[in-house]
C-alpha cells in the first residue's frame, strides 16, 4: 500500500529533514545568484529537458468518475450516486471519509509509481478538486475530507521517483460545467464564473504554490493548471479570461516573490489552449510575463466529428494532425477510445485488435510529440461496460500488449511512413 510506511514516525523524520533540505535550497539559490547563470539555476519547476513530456493522468484518484471505475465506486458504497458530492451527502460525512480515505490509500500506490517510472514515463498530472484545501468548503457543500495527507504522500513518492508533477484544478468551486462528474458534482448550472468562486480558486493556487516551494514532499511539482476544460462559451468565459486568469497569475507570482523564489525556480502556469474553444487564454494577460506559461490541449479522436469512424481514417488523422496553436502545448488528455467502440472496426475482441491499437497509439504519440508531449487519460481504470476496457487505462493497455514498455518505440514502428 502506498501510505503504509508513512505514519507518525516517518512524518517526524520528514520534519527533521525539512531544515536540511531548506538549507540546501537556500545555498543553491545563493550560489545561483552569485554565478548569475540561468542554465545553472534551473530548478524543479523546469520541464524534463532530455525528452518529450510522456505521462499519465491520475484521473479517478482524487476525483472519482464513476463511469470508468464502476467496481471501485460500488465498493465505496456509492453505487446509488452519480458524483462525489452526491455520495458524501447521501451516506454521511463519517462513512464517506472512511470510504474515500481507503480509496485514496489503495487506488494508486507505490507499486504504480514504480511501474510508471519503469515504463519510460516522466510526468504525472493529478486532477484535484478545490476541496483538497478544506477551509475553502462552504456550509452546504459535501466533500470527502482528509485528502491532503494522501496527496502529500503521493507527491513524495513521485518526487522520489523523479517524476514531474502537474497539479490540475479539475473541479472548480461552483463547477465549471453542468452535469459533469469530473467536476465532482452534477451541478445544474456552471457556477464557477463568479468573482467569489474565482477568489476561492485563487486561494487554492496560492496555497499550492506555497506548498510547492516550502514542502519537500512537493519538490517535483513544476506546474499548476488554473482550470480544466472550462465552458466552450465565449460569452460566459470572458470573465474567466479577464478576471480569473490574470489575477491568478499575479497572485501566484506574488506568493513566489514573498517566498524569495528566484525566477528560474518559478512554477509553470498552465491553461487550456485556444483549440479547446474557450477563447484565447492570453486575451486578458497583457502586461504579464508569459515566459513560464504552458497550454493544455485535449484531443479525443472519439469525439472528433470530422473523422470517419474507421481504422484508416483514424490512422490518417493522427498521422497528419497538428495540435499547434498556443505554444508550448502539452496534449494533456487523450486515449485509445473510439467512436462505435464495439462495432466491427474497433471491437477490442477482434483477433487483430491489439496489433491495430498499438499502431494507432504510436500514430497519436507521433502527433502529440510534434508539440511538447502528452499525458494519457488515464493511468488506471477497471470494468467499463461489462469488460476490462484497456482503451482508457495506460496500465491496462500495457498489460494487454497494446503499449510497449518504452514509449520511444512509437518512433520505430513506421506507422506514419508514406502518409501525408
DSSP 401: T
| CB-based contacts of 395, cutoff 8 Å, min separation 6 | 112, 115, 379, 380
337 Cα distance to chain centroid: 18
What are 273's three cell numbers?
489552449
**Phi–psi pair at 269, nearest 5 degrees:** -115, 125
Whether residue 333 lies in the annotated active site: yes
SS3 string, 39-72, reads CCCCCCCCCCCCCCEEEEECCCCCCCCHHHCHHH
Q: Which three cell numbers stand for residue 412?
A: 520505430
Catalytic-role residue among 72, 84, 229, 345: 229
For 38, what's the count of Cα atoms within 13 Å in the CB-facing half-sphere?
3
**What are the backbone angles phi and psi of residue 295, rounded to the nearest 5°?**
-130, 140
Q: Please answer whether residues 57 and 376 qualify as being in contact, where contact means their C-beta atoms are separated by less than 8 angstroms.
A: yes
Which three cell numbers mark 215? 514542502
Active-site annotation holds for 229: yes
Element (H, E) at 9: helix 8-35
Neighbours of 26 (CB within 10 A): 11
150: left (phi over 0), alpha (psi -120 to 50) or beta: alpha
> CA–CA separation, 320 vs 367, rounded Å?
7
Report residue 136 CA to chain centroid gap: 21
8 Å CB contact between 107 and 380: yes
Which of these is catalytic: 206, 256, 333, 345? 333
Whether the Cβ atoms of residue 103 and residue 64 lie closer than 8 Å to each other = yes
**Residues with catalytic annotation?**
229, 333
Amino acid at each position: 500500500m502506498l501510505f503504509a510506511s508513512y505514519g507518525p514516525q516517518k512524518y517526524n523524520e520528514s520534519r527533521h529533514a525539512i531544515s536540511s533540505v531548506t538549507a540546501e535550497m537556500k545555498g543553491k539559490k545563493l550560489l545561483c545568484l552569485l554565478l548569475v547563470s540561468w542554465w545553472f539555476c534551473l530548478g524543479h519547476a523546469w520541464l524534463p529537458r532530455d525528452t518529450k513530456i510522456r505521462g499519465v493522468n491520475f484521473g479517478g484518484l482524487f476525483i472519482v468518475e464513476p463511469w470508468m471505475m464502476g467496481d471501485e465506486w460500488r465498493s465505496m458504497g456509492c453505487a446509488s450516486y452519480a458524483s462525489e458530492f452526491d455520495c458524501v451527502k447521501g451516506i454521511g460525512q463519517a462513512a464517506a471519509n472512511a470510504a474515500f480515505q481507503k480509496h485514496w490509500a489503495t487506488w494508486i500506490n507505490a507499486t504504480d509509481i514504480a511501474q510508471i517510472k519503469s515504463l519510460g514515463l516522466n510526468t504525472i498530472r493529478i486532477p484535484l478538486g478545490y476541496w483538497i484545501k478544506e477551509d475553502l468548503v462552504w456550509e452546504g457543500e459535501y466533500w470527502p475530507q482528509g485528502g491532503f495527507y494522501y496527496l502529500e504522500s503521493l507527491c513524495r513518492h513521485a518526487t522520489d521517483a523523479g517524476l514531474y508533477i502537474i497539479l490540475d484544478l479539475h473541479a472548480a468551486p461552483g463547477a465549471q460545467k453542468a452535469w459533469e462528474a469530473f467536476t465532482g458534482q452534477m451541478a445544474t448550472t456552471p457556477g464557477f464564473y463568479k468573482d467569489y468562486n474565482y477568489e476561492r480558486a485563487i486561494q487554492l493556487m496560492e496555497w499550492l504554490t506555497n506548498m510547492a516551494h516550502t514542502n519537500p514532499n512537493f519538490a517535483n511539482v513544476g506546474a499548476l493548471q488554473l482550470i480544466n476544460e472550462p465552458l466552450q462559451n465565449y460569452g460566459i468565459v470572458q470573465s474567466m479570461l479577464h478576471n480569473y486568469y490574470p489575477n491568478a497569475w499575479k497572485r501566484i507570482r506574488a506568493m513566489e516573490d514573498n517566498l524569495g523564489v528566484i525566477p528560474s525556480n518559478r512554477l509553470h502556469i498552465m491553461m487550456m489552449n485556444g483549440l479547446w474553444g474557450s477563447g484565447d487564454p492570453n486575451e486578458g494577460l497583457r502586461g504579464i510575463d508569459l515566459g513560464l506559461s504552458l497550454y493544455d490541449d485535449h484531443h479525443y479522436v472519439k469525439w472528433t466529428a470530422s473523422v470517419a469512424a474507421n481504422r484508416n481514417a483514424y490512422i490518417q488523422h493522427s498521422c497528419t494532425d497538428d495540435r499547434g496553436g498556443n505554444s508550448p502545448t502539452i496534449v494533456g488528455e487523450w486515449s485509445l477510445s473510439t467512436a462505435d467502440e464495439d462495432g466491427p472496426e474497433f471491437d477490442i475482441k477482434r483477433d487483430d485488435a491489439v496489433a491495430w491499437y498499438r499502431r494507432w497509439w504510436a500514430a497519436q504519440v507521433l502527433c502529440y510529440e510534434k508539440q511538447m508531449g502528452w499525458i494519457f487519460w488515464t493511468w488506471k481504470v477497471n470494468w467499463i461496460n461489462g469488460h476490462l476496457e484497456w482503451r482508457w487505462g495506460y496500465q491496462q493497455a500495457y498489460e494487454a500488449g497494446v503499449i510497449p514498455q518504452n514509449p520511444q518505440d512509437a518512433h520505430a514502428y513506421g506507422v506514419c511512413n508514406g502518409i501525408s
